[in-house]
Amino acid sequence: MTQPENLTAPALLGEFSYELRPVERGYANRTLYINLNDNVITEKPVSQQMKDLFTGGRGFALKLLWDAVTPTTRWDDPQNELVIANGPICGITAYPGSGKSTIVTLSPLTENVIDSNVGGYFAPFLKFSGFDALEIQGKATNDVIIFIDGDSGKVTIERDSLEAVDAHLIGNALTERFGGNEKGKRGISVLSAGQGAEHTRIAMINSTWYDVRRKEARFKQAGRGGTGRVLRDKKIKAIVVKFTDMGGDLNGVADMPLIRKAGQRINKEITDLDDVQNQMRKVGTANIVDVMDHFDLLPTHNFRYGSHPDVSKIDSKVWKEYFTQGVPDGCWLGCTMSCSHGVDHFLLKTGPYAGTCVIVDGPEYENAAGLGSNIGNFDPQKVLELNFYCDTYGIDTISVANCIAFAMECYEAGQITSEHTGGLELKFGNGAAALDLIHQMAKGEGFGVIVGQGVRYMKDYFAREFGADPVFMHDIGMEIKGMEISEYMTKESLAQQGGYGLATKGPQHDEAWLIFMDQVHNLLPTFKDKAEALHYFPMWRTWFSLHGLCKLPWNDISPANNKQTKEPAKVEEHVENYTWIHQGVTGIPTTTDTLLRQSERVYNFQKVFAIRMGRVGRQHDYPPYRAMGPVTVEEYESRKERYDEQLKRLLEIDPTGMTTEQKMTELRKYRLAQYELMMDAVYERRGWDSNSIPTLEKLHNLGMDLPEVLEVVEKARTSIA
Ligand code: SF4
């Protein structure tokens, strides 16, 4: 089954044949295990208990990783795993957005468990090839390509023979090689990173699908937490899955008419209403750049401000013009929302591919905000060039944007100088310098390598090596738990501060996005309201990752009468759709509570996993003050009227005659105290104690009282008492 690695031997290092069999009610009922230390490949059965407790997708991946590591395992130990999972609903084509992979590993950024989801065809093809999850442990000696052939039932590990080192070339070369003809290429999906993933911790994994119209591989990204660094640390050049016999009913579902009923209902909404709602089919998530700016929520100059006079240069109208219109841009079959837009024939001006024309996948909102306003870059051409190179080098656009913005603010504040940056003038708006940094990250040289280790790393490094002020950097470094905060301003939304601070994996908006409910519509006035939202929405969003679903069709389109419903933010009609498709796939009678309990079990398990890996106590759950209020005099004075009014109304302090510094001190005390109260309310609602540890009662109630889980919790409680 396996062969010893030998540089002169044929390229095949490991081989495994397995029985092809149909999916049953959403499950392939086995997972695939690969160890790159010795090229062992094997399959593992999925037990009923695994399904009952962990559901699938992120739940399966967490359970497999838990069993593989110990509390002392580090991200770059061979013992760490990269786990890629799908979920029972993943792969259906009758409901939009059903093709997501979830990637789970120990993160080089957070030094703890991370999950990140991604579109493309990998997850469904993995399932139809026979596996609910792929688990990769160990490290190869030289670069390898893993190939899962779902057509013939064979898995191979081979030595990499590609010259290509970046994702856009790797993806296309392997689609061509393993797909062969047009039909074959449609059945290929490739996971890969790029040169940047070898030198940075903010590295991500690209996932492809073959775009039949453009005749090229397209890309989506599992951006968060540094998963690409783990991929390259294991010396995996690419993972390829092949499944060419695609059809619409491969999930072995229990009740296809029920699934179709839900699909027809939402597809009609998308057809009828998308154009008058968010225009996802024309602009994708970039439609909200202008909206965010309007409500002072668009991160600008390292989250100092929420709007900018030049926003019209990078707003939704600009991207609508750039995007090729009228082509089906779905990242999985049947996704009528089709929001994965691209800019065709983009001529690169810098870097190793200067002078060539490429497809830029995006920009999505996060890229436009991060690589645009947050670094003060309002040149759309540079946003596109940055977007392309981040993707092909395997660098997360959100993290890199915050890293560059942080370095720029440190530079402008005199904390670091051009001597430290190797001559780069890191001023806000210098998009060319941002590109230089990214090319340095790919080459593994220069100041870019330091920036590419993340904001948390830079804070320590700048203080230690350059004598920069640690207190100032702590306030302005936009990371929590080691991961960079995604691109939304939270100063005026306490609930969203909690959405970021209290997220187990780190500050990513796929847990909770409450800014509009809280700040714009004022629907969460009390701590109880905020706590309820910070319970419900993370549970709901977790559910998508258990099943391989995209979040966007849940609330980026809504029924015509949604605003008249009791709780429009929940989009109850779509929640009902999800109960139908869950029941339709699995045959299990389903209510909303069935789905929320699935999430709560896994959410609490992930929390205990993080505790097991050493993150014990509430001190890990605080955002930097920049996410809570004005750090600098300049920030305060830019919104003086707002803050002065808050001092009067909320603190009953008359700001007349006070210096700006005095006012900032009072406001800061107030906001920090509010955050503490919010934390306590959320912990209580989630069934956690005041040290952010799930209670035994909660774990018993969820049936998540496994002996190994209780042991971790009891040990943590004793250690902190
Ligand atoms: S809504 Fe967009 S991101 Fe989600 S599955 Fe569809 S095309 Fe992909």
Chain length of the chain: 721
Structure confidence at residue 509 (pLDDT): 86
Indicate the top mutation candidate among 207, 331, 361, 551 to test ligand 1's pocket, ranked by most ligand atoms within 8 A of CB. 331
Whole-number Å distance between alpha carbons of 678 and 317: 38
Ligand 1 probe mutation, 100, 122, 335, most atoms within 8 A of CB: 335
The string of DSSP letters for 254-287 reads S-HHHHHHHHHHHHHHHHHHTTTTT-HHHHGGGG
Assess whether pLDDT exceeds 80 at residue 717: yes
CATH 3.40.50.720 is held by the domain 274-484: no
pTM of the model: 0.96
What stretch of H or E contains 360?
A: strand 357-361
Taking the CA of residue 556 as reference, the ligand 1 atom at the shortest distance is 1
pLDDT in tens, 233-273: 999 999 999 999 999 899 999 999 999 999 999 999 999 99
Choosing from 90, 116, 337, 367 the residue with most ligand 1 atoms within 8 A of its CB, the one to mutate for a pocket test is 337
Ligand 1 neighbours, Cβ below 6 Å, are 96-97, 119, 330-332, 335, 337-340, 550, 552-553
**CA nearest ligand 1 atom 8, residue:** 331
Ligand 1 mean position to 90 CA, how many Å?
A: 13
* Among candidate residues 234, 247, 223, the one with its CA nearest the CA of residue 91: 247
Q: How far is the CA of 551 from the centre of ligand 1 (A)?
A: 8
From 118, 211, 552, the mutation candidate for ligand 1 (largest count of ligand atoms within 8 A of CB) is 552
Q: What is the pLDDT of residues 215-224, one digit of tens each?
A: 999 999 999 9
Nearest CA residue ID for atom 5, ligand 1 = 97
The predicted pLDDT at position 439 comes to 98
pLDDT value of position 649: 97
Determine contact, residues 239/194, Cβ cutoff 8 Å: no
Residue 231 makes CB contacts below 8 A (sequence gap 6+) with 82, 191, 192, 193, 197, 203, 205
How far is 664 from 632, CA to CA, in rounded Å?
8
Atom of ligand 1 nearest to the CA of 339: 2
Which ligand 1 atom is at minimum distance from the Cα of 96?
A: 6
Q: Residue 206: which of 387, 432, 434 has the closest Cα?
A: 387
Q: Do domains 274-484 and 494-720 have the same CATH topology?
A: no
Closest to 193 measured CA to CA, from 394, 442, 440 = 394
Average pLDDT value for residue range 650-655:
97
Domain segments of the chain as ranges = 274-484, 494-720
List strands edge to edge, sheet with 113-118.
40-45, 30-35, 133-137, 82-85, 101-106, 113-118
Mutate to test the pocket of ligand 1, among 266, 340, 544 (most ligand atoms within 8 A of CB): 340
Q: How far is the CA of 75 from the centre of ligand 1 (A)?
A: 30
In the chain, % of residues over pLDDT 70: 99
Q: Which atom of ligand 1 is nearest to the CA of 553?
A: 1
Ligand 1 midpoint to CA 99 (Å): 8
Q: What's the pLDDT at 8? A: 46
Whether the pLDDT of residue 668 is over 90: the answer is yes
Q: What is the mean pLDDT of the chain?
A: 96
CATH number for the domain formed by residue range(s) 494-720: 1.10.599.10
Query: What per-residue confidence (pLDDT) applies to 721?
Result: 79
Strand partners, 134: 32, 84
Q: Whose CA is nearest to atom 2 of ligand 1?
A: 339
Point out the ligand 1 atom lying closest to the alpha carbon of residue 332.
5
**pLDDT (mean) for 668-688:** 98
The per-residue pLDDT for range 107-157, each reduced to its tens digit, is 999 999 999 999 999 999 999 999 999 999 999 999 999 999 999 999 999
- Chain segment 73-86, per-residue pLDDT in tens: 999 999 999 999 99
What is the CA(335)–ligand 1 centre distance, in A? Answer: 6
Distance 150 CA to ligand 1 centre (A): 24
- Report the amino acid identity of residue 253: V
pLDDT tens digits for range 5-16: 344 444 999 999
H helix and E strand count, the chain:
28, 17
Atom of ligand 1 nearest to the CA of 99: 5
Is it the case that residue 32 has pLDDT exceeding 80?
Answer: yes
Expressed in angstroms and rounded, the spacing between residue 302 Cα and the centre of ligand 1 is: 28
Which structure tokens are listed for 649? 């109304």
According to the model, what pLDDT value does residue 511 have?
A: 85
